[in-house]
Structure 1
Amino acid sequence: MNRLEPLVLGIETSCDETGVGIVRGDRLLANVIASSMDEHARYGGVVPEVAARAHLEAIEPTLAAAVAEAGIRLDDVDAIAVTTGPGLSGALMVGVGAAKALAVALEKPIYAVNHLVGHVGADVVSEEPLEYPTIALLVSGGHTSLLVVRDLVGDVELLGETIDDAAGEAFDKVARVLGLPYPGGPQIDRAAVGGDPKAIRFPRGLSLPKDMAKHRYDFSFSGLKTAVARWVEAETDAGREVPVADVAASFREAVVDVLLTKAFAACADLGIPRLLLGGGVVANARVREEAARRAAIAGVTLRIPPLSLCTDNGAMIAALGAQLVMAGREPSSLDFGADSTLPVTDVLVH
């Protein structure tokens, strides 16, 4: 095996995107994503059974497209990497099964890796190498996590996470309250254009002094979602037209404020002047804009992977796999299974 610049194929099926990526060392060769988002839109959210079936249908053509894009043959790869968790159990099983089949058929080593750490790995294929330690804020439909990454392949610590709804779920639910379609993130973003982010002071969960003592780095968006629903209901009951742009902008500002206040607090508390953002919610324009503003003030180096690498994708899994190969880590056995609640401290499952 080439351990200096390994050619690694990564498979990601933790939620509603079937992703296959191929990297050579820290260079991205292919990143193909097949999304089943449209199939879930009619239900207003991701349906696990629908996601698993969509992965089954998409995995083979997505794999073929990635190999063609990279200009390689399957026999050329040095290793296979796959998301083993966390995520939806049925969806994960599809990717794990496909990766094991490839590993056996091609007689290649397999690396079962952590989805959340993979989001950090997405930055590896950027032009400049990622420096450690770094604080990482990962925000997606199913996860809101704050990490300190001292070593991508071996030392990842969870500082805090959501104790109820993830940020992405809150966007989806508030979009529904406002009569906007799924997925909520881009819809809220569009609806907020022209709105006043200070029009309505929605609550910032777990930000009061009493909360910060116990949950300094944890997140809660359930109360915010409820506050928006009650505000809209009160306006409707009073016969007033709901100012959708103002509500969307004010809600989005509350989410962004909580996310970034806690992330930059971690940078200051731990003396780490680096912050990496990852996950689909990072595609939100206001998140990126406000993060850049606060980073400049705090003297923090901000890293945001290209948007195509922020949402779930196979390239980030391939990149993490390649880093593990180059670090000389032993591959996984074929005994591992999908683990929907895999802790972020488990970078590699043997």
Structure 2
Amino acid sequence: MSTIILAIESSCDDTGASVLIDDKIASNVVSSQIDHEKLGGVVPELASRKHIENIVWVVDQAINDAKINKEDIDAIAFTRGPGLMGSLLVGVSFAKSLASSLEIPIIEVNHMEAHILAHFIDTPVPEFPFLCLTVSGGHTQIVKVDSPEKMIVLGQTIDDAAGEAFDKAGKYIGLPYPAGPHIDKWARKGTSKFTFPIPQVKELDFSFSGLKTAFLYFLQDQVKMDNDFINKNLADICASLQNTIVTILLQKLILGSEKTGIRNIAIAGGVSANSSLRSQLQQVGIEKNWKIFIPNIQYCIDNAAMIAKAASFKYNNKEFARYNITADPKLKI
């Protein structure tokens, strides 16, 4: 008899639903909130309202795409945190209500752990232990993964995340939100001719606030001399900034491998879709004799398939949540 898990993701501004049948993703639906592009960033209150508007049809679409009925579902998983409180509450409340009506268990999932466990959706899968560089708009971490149930954060950002650095820098040069993909696109047309500082942070921690400030001051100084500097040099500016951020990430990942002796290396999170990070990681992997694991692009962004996969490990261990559970916006690994 098949095991069917419905998963819901609503940690930020994307509403996602996915159905996993016997450990295989049968559907994966994501509704993105394009309104935030016009506003230059995610507005928490608007995000939660959009989740309320979208969640019913997103879940229905996932169920229909998987060719199942609601009554076939064995458990419902949801993102408990971290994320925006209002957004999380929509997903948590919907999951609990639907599960209660079907009289089936619920499974809470940590959003950051799910990004890492997305590597187990498709083959090849990493062997334990492995190091995972998890980079997104809200987090930058190096995590030692001993098993699906045991993860240890070895280093993390002490201020801003890599994804936020991309977005803020993109705003400075007039690119739409989210700026990461636009910077990536422009960077392919340019060269890293400009130099930005590499922050000196202890051990495996990260810092990007200083880089953002240095980048802003650089632009201000150049524009004083040439008012059209950004337009004339956009590709090179993007290439230089992107190369600096990727260098910071890879330097710490190399140090993490050296300190732990682990050569199974993975990346996850929205920034792991960056083409330069992917290509440079592959090159470093060849030089360091690493085994590299890079997720499919659709599982890098926030999505419910990774929530379903993470939930499957808990389902097998019968780790079900109580119905009085609520969202935790500051949930940690």
Question: Is the TM value for this pair above 0.5?
Answer: yes
Structure 1 gaps of 5+ residues are 345-350
1:10 and 2:16 equivalent?
no
Q: Deviations over 1:312-331 (max 9, x none)?
A: 101100111111112x2431
Q: CA deviation at 1:128?
A: 2.8
Indicate the residue corresponding to 1:202 in structure 2: 196
Post-superposition Cα deviations, 1:140-165, rounded to whole Å, max 9, x if no partner, equal 1111111111011x211111111111
Matched with 1:33 is 30
| 2:246 maps to 1:252 | no
Structure 2 letter corresponding to 1:10: A
TM-score by length of 1: 0.92
Aligned counterpart in structure 2 of residue 136 of structure 1, from 127, 132, 137 = 132
d(CA) in 2 for partners of 1:124 and 1:275?
14
Amino acid at match of 1:85: G
CA distance, structure 2, for counterparts of residue 246 and residue 254 of structure 1: 12
1:130 deviates by 3.2
**Match status 1:105 vs 2:97:** no
Aligned partner of residue 8 in structure 2, secondary structure: strand
* 2:153 equivalent in structure 1: 158
Instruction: Return the alpha-carbon distance in structure 2 between the equivalents of residues 26 and 286 of structure 1.
Output: 32
Cα distance, 1:121 vs structure 2: 1.6
Matches of 1:304 and 1:129, distance apart in 2: 10
Aligned 8 A contact 1:22 1:70 in 2: yes
- In the alignment, the residues of structure 1 paired with residue 328 and residue 275 of structure 2 have an alpha-carbon distance, to the nearest angstrom, of 32
Which residue identity is paired with 1:173? Answer: K
**CA shift digits 1:180-215 (9 cap, x unpaired):** 111110111122122112x11111123xxxx3xxx3
Partners of 1:12 and 1:317 within 8 A in 2: yes
Q: In structure 1, the residue corresponding to 2:39 is in which secondary structure?
A: coil
* Correspondences of 1:338-349 after superposition (within 5 Å): 338-344=327-333
Per the alignment, residue 164 of structure 2 pairs with 169
Corresponding residue for 1:179?
174
Instruction: Give the structure 1 partner of residue 45 of structure 2.
Output: 49
In structure 2, distance between residues paired with 1:218 and 1:21: 33
Q: 1:284 aligns with which of 256, 274, 278?
A: 274
Give the structure 2 partner of residue 145 of structure 1.
Answer: 141
The residue aligned with 1:270 is 260
- Structure 2 unmatched runs, 5+: none
Name the counterpart of 2:210.
223
State the shift of 1:264 in Å.
2.4
Residues 70-109 of structure 1: pairs in structure 2 closer than 5 A: 70-109=66-105
The match for 1:312 is 302
SS in 2 for 1:68: helix
Code of the residue aligned with 1:80 in structure 2: it is I
2:102, 2:156 → 1: CA distance? Answer: 38
1:228-271 deviation line (CA, Å, top 9, x unaligned): 11111101111262322111111100100111111122122111
1:51-108 deviations in whole A, cap 9, x for unaligned? 1011111100100110111111111111111100000000000000011011101111
Give 1:348's aligned residue.
none
Distance 1:25 1:157 in 2: 28
Q: Percent identity?
A: 40
CA–CA distance in structure 2, aligned partners of residues 103 and 268 of structure 1: 46
Aligned residues of 1:141 and 1:166 also touching (Cα < 8 A):
yes
| Corresponding position of 1:237 | 224
Q: Which residue of 2 aligns with 1:116?
A: 112
**1:127 CA displacement:** 2.2
State the AA in 1 paired with 2:263: P
Shift in CA distance, 268/94, structure 1 to aligned 2, threshold 3 Å:
same
CA distance in 2, matches of 1:141, 1:59: 22
Please give the secondary structure, in 1, of the residue aligned with 2:292: strand
Matches within 5 A, 1:55-66: 55-66=51-62
